[in-house]
Amino acid sequence: MSALVRLADVSKYYGNIRALEGVSLEVHAGEITCVLGDNGAGKSTLIKIIAGLHRHDAGTFEIEGEEVRLGSPREALDRGIATVYQDLAVVPLMPVWRNFFLGSEPTKGKGPFKRLDVQLMRETTRAELHRMGIDLHDVDQPIGTLSGGQRQCVAIARAVHFGAKVLVLDEPTAALGVKQSGVVLKYVAAARDAGLGVVLITHNPHHAYLVGDRFVLLKRGAMAGSHAKPEIALDELTRQMAGGSELEQLSHELERAPVPDVIGGKHVEEPGQGA
């Protein structure tokens, strides 16, 4: 089966700055591809290329076998790639149902009487959210009043409803607590089971390992590894993600480092210092 999205040796430069170089990844239907990396590793740049906000400078980007250079988010959406950003691309003051259909509003009537199909919009929103397990009693409430996890789920439900084939999720669990993260991951898995290809961007290897089928590691804009789930254990993934040998060296340095005089040298006694 061919991949829904395939990136091969994709690079992106902002002037002289290398934001991304030689990154390859594949997304298949019914699978979750996780992109892992620290801050500044190039995750956002990668998302922006897939979502159509930026064009790549080198390498190939294929959607369902066809090579593309996306010019706008609209183009990506039309090709079935829906991106759920960290800020969720929702307008906080607008009601849930208006947000759900924003940019793709259904209308009825003709000519000057062409108007929003408000009833359809309200009912569809309620039904789609219910399908995702969110029981909102009032779709008229501003979306800003929902919890972070609920908003994330609305954004995912929206992408699923509009027939996305590929769902790109930017750090969906970054700002959430443990329980809410679990709920969101459940919906990510539900989207996968519905046959979507999912790109999950995260810096949390534990979350990634729970749901991922493939893992792509980024470091300072370059690929640091690419593994299928059977090839790698969680410990190894965590170690690579955390910087592996760099982290070990850092822990040695921390142990040996003398306390500088300016902050009191050895005279300071703090309760938790031994850690």
Instruction: Tell me which residues touch other proteins (CB under 8 A).
Output: 51, 53, 73-74, 77, 83, 85, 87-94, 98, 101-105, 107, 114-116, 118, 130-138, 140-142, 145, 147, 149-150, 153, 160, 183, 186, 190-191, 193-194
Strand 107-108 versus strand 115-116 pairing type: antiparallel
| Min separation Cβ 74 and other proteins, Å | 4
**Toward other proteins, which CB reaches closer, 77 or 166?**
77
Strands (E), 158-270: 166-170, 197-202, 214-219, 222-228
Give the ranges where 132-162 is alpha helix by DSSP (H): 148-161
State the DSSP string of 4-61. Answer: SEEEEEEEEEETTEEEEEEEEEEE-TT-EEEEEE-TTSSHHHHHHHHHTSS--SEEEE
CB 49 within 8 A of CB 61: yes
Answer for the pair 60, 23: CB distance below 8 angstroms, yes or no: no
Least separation in angstroms between residue 26's CB and other proteins is: 24
Q: How many CA atoms lie within 13 A of 174 on its CB side?
A: 17
Q: Which is closer to other proteins, CB of 110 or CB of 137?
A: 137
Rounded-to-5 percentages of helix, strand, coil across the chain: 40, 25, 35
- Least separation in angstroms between residue 133's CB and other proteins is 4
Q: How far is the CB of 82 from other proteins (least distance, A)?
A: 9
Give 89 or 211: the residue with its C-beta nearer to other proteins. 89
Residue pointed to by tokens 């995912």: 156
Q: Considering beta carbons, is residue 142 or 243 the nearer one to other proteins? A: 142
Residue 124 C-beta: closest distance to other proteins, Å: 15
3-state secondary structure of 108: strand
In the complex, least distance from residue 101 CB atom to other proteins, rounded to whole angstroms: 8
Q: Which is nearer to other proteins, 96 or 237 (CB)?
A: 96
Nearest to 143 by CA among 125, 117, 120: 125
Tokens 């306390």 map to which residue?
259
Residue 97 to residue 112: CA distance in whole angstroms? 23
Minimum distance from residue 246 beta carbon to other proteins (Å): 34
- Which lies closer to other proteins via its Cβ, residue 141 or residue 251? 141
Cβ nearer to other proteins, comparing 182 with 225? 182
